[in-house]
Structure 1
Amino acid sequence: MVVSNKAAPVIIKRKKNIVAGGRNGGAWKVAYADFVTAMMAFFMLMWLLNATTEKQRKGLADYFSPTTPISRVSGGGEDAFSGDSIFSEDQLARNGLGATIRNPDNALQARGATGVEQPSQVHSETDPLRMIEEELMGISGESLVAPEMLKHILTRVTDDGLVIELYANDGAPLFQEGTDTPTEMMRDLINIVARAVRKVSNSIAISGHVRAHPIVLAKNPAWPLSLARASRTQRLLGVAGMDPARIKRVSGHADRALTTDNPMSVRNDRIEVTVLRK
């Protein structure tokens, strides 16, 4: 007897879900994002190196350095806001005056409010050259120079020292034309300068400068005239009460160091009295 099974066979179809790219299909996106971030940081670093000064770069480096205090109120003790001043390798300094070694020298000490100022910036208020400049120009409130005479004085602090520049203006020369004979205004300016520099014992350097001549002369008087005016300034300072032994050098520069674009400008007739650094 034949048994007939008319039931349809059961077919089981199993569908396998395949994620595109396999098990690590999205990992490349994370790696690519890290690469882009690194490149952005690299190009930003290159831009900062090109767009900042040496002092600014040092400030940035100190900011990210864990052993350099970035302000006078940075915490260095166990608590969050204060603590003792610690000068050791194990703890940060509480103020901006410490360093990371037990006996630091001047080159390694953190200076000033940010730790990057130079000594001349931190102690500028006690710098005798700055004090003379402030007294002459009235920066500190009172000037030795009358307002009309301030138009003939320019001061600047350089690596050599404090340069006090006395210069002529239109209608107000320092010396009579073509000579080393000082005008009355020049004598008054010298008296003021002598009174200011008597407060320090630094050496003095005097430089004479004159304007260029409009034509080329066979015998250029600029050299002897600039030296003669510098020598006359030396004698005037001595008469005004300054010790002549403090004069270290007297030089004439003719028309070789002009201060304006016009070489024949009367502004180029000037005397520079430099209070040299010790």
Structure 2
Amino acid sequence: MPRRRAVEEHENHERWLVSYADFITLLFAFFVVMYAISSVNEGKYKILSESLVGVFSQPDRSVKPIPIGEERPRTTEPSVSQVDEPAADSLLEQNAGDPLQDIAQSMREAFGELIANQQLTVRGNELWVEIELNSSLLFSSGDAVPSDEAFALIEKVARILAPYDNPVHVEGFTDNQPIATAKYPTNWELSAARASSIVRMLAADGVAAGRLAAVGYGEFQPAADNATAEGRARNRRVVLVVSRNLDVRRSVAGMGANGRSGMQTAPTAAR
């Protein structure tokens, strides 16, 4: 029996067209979707454009905060009263001079004759003013009881100092001649007693007591050589140190006359 020959299957050479057609369909769908997304509603676009232009070009249509309480008009110009009429305190501060300079000038005017005779000295700098008085103007030798002339002199000093608030540090100094009495065992007690007497007189003549302090240095801070009579006379002195403020007074108290002498400056110095 003859063998049956197998029938060859027909090969489809146009199968690629199916894939191509699917690709074209997907591509068409893609472009349709892209067009749908990119299409603009001209009417809505025009309304949106006009709204934005109105917001950014017209201040009265900008967003304003919700006012709370009474709304007051604001202005960028300062009020006339603030510019043309400064406060009274500011005027006083501008017109007020430096207290230390005023005190030094008043002392020079009031005691010009004593300054010329080198019995009183006014000197200082921007931190303090020193009024140095020879002890012979105020006390008898070896005593701390003020003389009659001392009361009139200290009264004039007090009238100058009383209107100000600056602290006043009164310092007493002696020569190196020893003293040994029941009242003043050493020169320390004598110098301190003399400073205290001046403090009491200033307070009695109107200078606020809270501004005042007294200290005695004895013979240990001489201004001149104790080997001569002139030097010893110069060393017997009382110095009123008028400080700019309380902190300066404390530093002045710590350094004494010799410490200050190295810090003298010319602007307010006068002899």
TM-score scaled by length of structure 2:
0.48
Larger Rg: 2
Point out which structure has higher relative CO (alpha carbons under 8 A, 6+ apart).
Answer: 2
TM-score scaled by length of structure 1:
0.47
